[in-house]
Amino acid sequence: MKAYLRIYGLTVLILLLIVGAINWLIDPLWYHGGNQATHINPPWNERIAKTNLFLNHSREYDCILLGTSRSTLFDTTKLQQNRCFNYSFSGGKLEEFVNYAQYLKDKDIEPQKLYLEVELDAFDRRRNPRTYPAVTDPSPWYRTYFFSADAFSLSLRTLTEDYSFARLYDQTFRGILSDDIPTYEPEFSKQEKLKSCDPERIRFYQQLKQIFPNTQFVGFIAPVSAWFVYNNSYLPNILECQLAGIYQVAALFDQMYDFAVPSVVTTRTDNTYDGNHYYPKIYRQVASVLEGRPGDFGVNIKQLALPDYQALYQRQIKAFLTQVGEEQRWRGEA
């Protein structure tokens, strides 16, 4: 019996060591340096992975970028005025960003500058508002990598390339594109007539400012295709209300730019794989504009009056619809 227990215990120990070694090598949740085998990191649980990565290097940064999966393709090394950590993650919501800001504040981290992706539909009323729990420290690496079947599954799937993501991360955790990204084929979709706008959501931006009162805030609306803008925002009274909300955010922030206004960039189909995520080369242009370098992409919202900002969108949407032969959609006539 004792011999059996020794063999059983030794077998369990060996299996744990094998699992731990594979997890440590692939490091799917970025407890140390990411995938050391193939150097390609799928976007598994970015919230945990980015928190781990940031905690390991927090003192190296004086700047944070918070955003959605769109901004994960933003190479923040192109922001030359600061050393900025890209804390963006898939499905990120404004309420979550408030929690992550509070988490950093609780760790005595207050960035010199905070770049915040503001979604064009940030003021949409949520039919079922979600309450996000407070952010907590990830579990210790040894607990996750020795005793988590989920972590081991992620390691095996990474090692065998058992994933299908259009966006990935390289060995430095910069967002990159997959070799087999899809071709964007835009289309007009049926618009959601039940959308409504909630100006009171400005309170979340105010909370961010309260958490970091000494931080310079730079807001930006990430580029999305003109088709996306039309399908999601061009509804009676909705676009005007959304833009009015964004204009309030601009008044709160030190700088505010809009890259979603239909333009030469966002009416093309060869620089995005789905109309919602633009290639890193486009974000190099975004970085340049955000740091004040000359460029013809994006709109400086703080330089416009609200009626001019709203009228600009109307003009550009009309010009886009004319360009693609869909004039009948103007003013919702389709």
Start-to-end CA span in the chain (Å): 80
Chain centroid offset of residue 271 CA: 18
Q: How far apart are CA 122 and CA 279, in angstroms?
A: 22
Residue 8: predicted pLDDT:
66
Print pLDDT tens along the chain (334 aa).
667 667 766 777 888 899 999 999 999 999 999 999 999 999 999 999 999 999 999 999 999 999 999 999 999 999 999 999 999 999 999 999 999 999 999 999 999 999 999 999 999 876 556 788 899 999 999 999 999 999 999 999 999 999 999 999 999 999 999 999 999 999 998 766 657 888 899 999 999 999 999 999 999 999 999 999 999 888 777 899 999 999 999 999 999 999 999 999 999 999 999 999 999 999 999 999 999 988 889 999 999 999 999 999 999 999 999 999 999 888 665 5
Q: How many Cβ atoms from other residues are within 10 Å of residue 57's Cβ? A: 10
**pTM for this structure?**
0.94
Residue 332: predicted pLDDT:
61
**Each residue of 202-234: b (16+ CB within 10 Å) or e?**
bebbebbeebbeebebbbbbbbbbbbbbbbbbb
Residue 64: predicted pLDDT:
98
Residues 6+ apart with CB under 8 A from 224: 70, 120, 260, 266, 275, 276, 278
Residue 124: predicted pLDDT:
83
For the chain, the domains span: 2-332
Residues 6+ apart with CB under 8 A from 170: 39, 40, 41, 176
Provide the angle, in degrees to the nearest 10, between the axes of the packed helices 202-211 and 238-252: 10
Q: How far apart are CA 6 and CA 2, in angstroms?
A: 6
